[in-house]
Structure 1
């Protein structure tokens, strides 16, 4: 950390200070250029300083910088919610509320499901990440560093194995654990909701098993339990579609949104079945900054760019580039530490592992430094911090993406 005025409990992956950025490139305060495969940890699907978003921010800042929607309505909030609810690919009537962040969206979703069901228990999944606030910490399927030294967390929360081809947990194993949970740990009638990421982000871009997702949807319907999809990192085109849950053939009851919703502005949302969003009494939802006019303007400009045609084209181009290069790296055996390719669509992770399959966390740390020195910023993930998650903007120019993948390959080949 460069300044003693900043909490030393904040961990910074790359010891550099950025000055400015454009699409998939950033420059530090010393003028060095980097290709950005971090993308603000999934915030910048449309890249740094997208011209349309910047113009929308400037225009809105000259008209109204803030008004608390609880006190008086403003047009950007109303316009965005009309556009956003129409953007959600489900067949039921949708409404929602805006928040400042993904964690705040998750917190409000918990309030909504409690109000709607009269129940309080939540089922989450191993490897999950839903935020850093006190309630969302307990949803996370990982202790270190998030749950350490913070004491008793709000609950009750229970965890199940997350079934995915990317982690070797099968649908049958997860369903067996589900059966055990309700036989041993908790009465099914006390459960308000399940919360699940269609593609886990922090865990290393693990794609949820389709068969399990559909079985879970049926189970929730049978037991009158709500299903929340956390699309904070996987949404807004990251997989090549509007949202990753569409790939699973299910419709969640509530959907959590944030990150790439507003081109870098702080904004989140809870959207879903209108009847659920209207459950709490007047004043039960809201917030001083939630749905700030400038953030809403940025989100409206973002949605203008995120047409289905654009998302499909960007996603296909990036997926093809990543998958083809990975296959070539495997064929050419460029590194003994090159493990699996995780994820789906353009939401991909590259695992580093030893020959016996154990995580190669030390080599990943080496890769981060080598790539940074060579002008490429990467982001670690995974339980053992051994999976690189590739989050280049969907709008990355083909030549820049290839340049970044070239650097990635060259650094992989240097690992020892």
Structure 2
């Protein structure tokens, strides 16, 4: 559940920033902790001079402390993450059931709402200023989205939020796994093209909804797209190379429901705010961001194009961590960068080009491995033909519109929804997803 964040969040103030609730007595630290009891109980231990700080509070849990109360105060770990134990309370209202994931922002815990008896997902943000500020931005965005997304079908729904021991906690409805987790647990087997079409339509509808509200997500990726349900079925995988089913390689998982929702709005930006920093996780980052040309709504559509290819192939298209190699991969798959974008590149990106005319590749490659990684990539048309049995022509045309270098010519979300890839009637049912 990794998330790449912008280095700084330049939003000094928010419209209608939610008011912090008053600190309650169960949020206050005890005067002095009791002596250390050397027993490893808590997640996120921090050791000082051989003593586990978390263990110092172990006696409280076995000395008659009512189960409905919050645990005694404990310090955060060295990175500012909240230290917790499975089975204890997170405020008297929520009981911790399991850890669902962790990212740069903090942790996500599955909790039981003791009032409604419903399972929820609670995002506990690190007690560091920039992440707290990002969390407040996310709360503002979530509340705006919930106000306009009447049926709650596009974006994850916020249930509550509170400030607990210097951690912003956001309570969400509990959803299923991310598309990335589903692919990973399915040995990165690709989705059938008809399922990709359905997922793509929903994704673009969600993006169009956000753009209509003048919001830019800026971090679209399979990790931030969740299936609503965790249910799946195992079906024969006719594309598997092995004919043996002893190790399960001739079967794959298919979601029972294709319904999805967007999550992670911590780096979502209002159109009128400054756009002076790097956005998007590397593999899904648009060329205008790398070249320092400024970015806006079209950067989300580039990410959507990369996501659709990943769902079709099972693997991220641009698997790189370096700008020059990333640009070389783009040119390998999509052709040369437009000269006007090269000429307009900022001073940080000028070094990637020879005399300001063409990409400094392969001369500027850092290693032979890097050259091989670029060289093995096929052209877009060939890549799609390798993985798609029908609708390939329509999908290639759609992707060429989404992965257009020039953001001013790139397809908009609502334009993409009207593309023949989505509008043609193939008269296929969900059983063909396999």
TM-score of the superposition, structure 2-length normalised?
Answer: 0.26
Q: What TM-score do you get using the length of structure 1 for normalisation?
A: 0.26
Structure with higher helix content = 1
Q: Which has the larger radius of gyration?
A: 2
| Larger relative contact order (Cα-Cα within 8 Å, sequence gap ≥ 6) | 1
